Chains A and B, each alone.
Chain A
Amino acid sequence: MNSEKKGFTAKDLITTGIFSVLLLLAAMITGGPFASIPTLTFYFPIGAALLAGPIFMLFIAKVPKYGALAIVGVIMCILGTLTGMHWGMNFGFLICAILAAVISGIGKFKKPALNLIAYIVYCIGPMGSYLVFIFNKESWVSFMLKKGTEQEYIDKMSEVATGSTIAIMVIGTIVVATLSGLLGLRLMRKQFVKAGIAS
């Protein structure tokens, strides 16, 4: 890891910063409405996966290095922690960003198919918090709301969180991420490579 970090130029870091903004905004624009409505909150990863595909593809084309996605993961993790997000989401994000970097790196960040898989893995990150909810409901509830305040919220969540919801969440995210990633690859091929922005 260290030797790769050395390869970072200031330009790579600045590009990483700019694309983290875009990735974050893309997730917030389409994911935000889902997250704030309790019955739809489980579909947040689907919404978050919708727009970011092309941004992700251009980003790995511009900074084809292992550490780049890891830095995005670290930044999201720090920002998420400071704004009081659930730790499952933050670390899910970090882990999936690193996994995505490894997957994409197998093909030297050039193989479209591997980049697509990397994007799908990256989109699974925000599910971390919901996976914690499924496996350990007590800890999730006690983290989100202390001491039985707003029992109705918990009831609502438990009522919504059935097996099929989770299945929809996982499959929906994968489908949407695939579509968004394919769109990104198409845009790359048709526009960015021709325009000389990415090779």
Chain B
Amino acid sequence: MISLDPRTKIILLGFTALFSALIPNGIYLIVWISLTAFLGIMLGRIGKTIRAAIIFAALWLFATFVLPMLSGVAHTSLLVWLGLVFKCFPCCMMAGIFIETTQIGEFMAAMSKWKIPRSVVIPIGIMFRYFPTVKEDWSHIKDAMALRGINLSPACFIKNPGTVIDAMYLPILVTASKASDELSASAITRGIENPSRRTSRLDIRIKPADVGAVILFALALIIGYLLTVGGRI
């Protein structure tokens, strides 16, 4: 088990975005996904990382062995769809690992070391915090809608569109504005508006593990790029 500085994780995410932009879908993708999976397991996010790796393996095997047997429209659309999935998969996997293994406090402390303006860091920190809450709220809202006999099916929508729209937007927007009031009250209490430099109890430093991870991913990126330019993959 290791723990990485949030800054390192952002650098790794940047490498992954570069990887997606520079290197075509191919066998080298497996190398990158394995590296990402290794990183995820080392960071202690074992279950979800293994699940993502298995999903990737299944898609990859499908693309390699089943897809060539198909033909016509099914072949084209599946090929294209898989191409897009493979393009997005490394970044999504890395972003998932980043979000799940980083606490907001850590993230804010690391960003203040990079001197990123507060007006960008605070909204992003809140986004991390709020994504899971929206999911939870939404399931409650769906329950409440079911209680009133409203659902999001087209049939129900055509019957009385006004009610469905109100029942969908109002709770979500009202909870959002309530949440923003409450979160700001709690953040102001904890001194987020303090104009002086932010301090943190957490030990945010670049450690040997961070250097190692960056070097490993940078090497993988460079080798992949050279192989691509050399026409090997």
Binding site for B on A (CB under 8 A): 5, 8-11, 13-22, 24-25, 36-39, 54-55, 58, 62, 67, 71-72, 74-75, 78, 81-84, 143-147, 149-150, 152-153, 156, 183, 187, 191-192, 195, 197-198
Label chain A's interface by main secondary structure: helix
Label chain B's interface by main secondary structure: helix
CB of B81 within 8 A of CB of A37, answer yes
Q: Which of B23, B130, B169 contacts A146 (CB 8 A)?
A: B23
Would you give the shortest CB distance from A186 to chain B, in whole angstroms? 9
CB of B193 within 8 A of CB of A145, answer no
Would you give the shortest CB distance from B15 to chain A, in whole angstroms? 11
Would you give the shortest CB distance from A48 to chain B, in whole angstroms? 16
A38-B77 contact given A18-B183, A83-B88, CB 8 Å threshold: yes
Per the bound structure, the CA–CA distance linking A78 and B17 in Å amounts to 12
For B17, the closest partner residue in chain A by CB is A84
Which of B34-42, B173-181, B197-205 lies at the binding interface? Answer: B173-181
Task: Give the interface size class of chain B.
Answer: 35 or more
For B194, the closest partner residue in chain A by CB is A10
CB of A22 within 8 A of CB of B13, answer no
1-31 of chain B: CB within 8 A of chain A? 10, 13-14, 16-17, 20-26
CB of B172 within 8 A of CB of A18, answer no
Per the bound structure, the CA–CA distance linking A153 and B10 in Å amounts to 31
Residues of A within 8 A of B176 (CB): 18-19, 22
Which of B47-55, B121-129, B206-214, B215-223 lies at the binding interface? Answer: B121-129
Q: Any chain A CB within 8 A of the CB of B144? A: no
Would you give the shortest CB distance from A127 to chain B, in whole angstroms? 18
For A183, the closest partner residue in chain B by CB is B165
For B184, the closest partner residue in chain A by CB is A11
Residues of B within 8 A of A156 (CB): 76, 80
Residues of B within 8 A of A147 (CB): 24, 228
Q: Which of B83, B124, B187 contacts A150 (CB 8 A)?
A: B83
CB of B24 within 8 A of CB of A153, answer no
Per the bound structure, the CA–CA distance linking A132 and B77 in Å amounts to 23
Would you give the shortest CB distance from B14 to chain A, in whole angstroms? 7
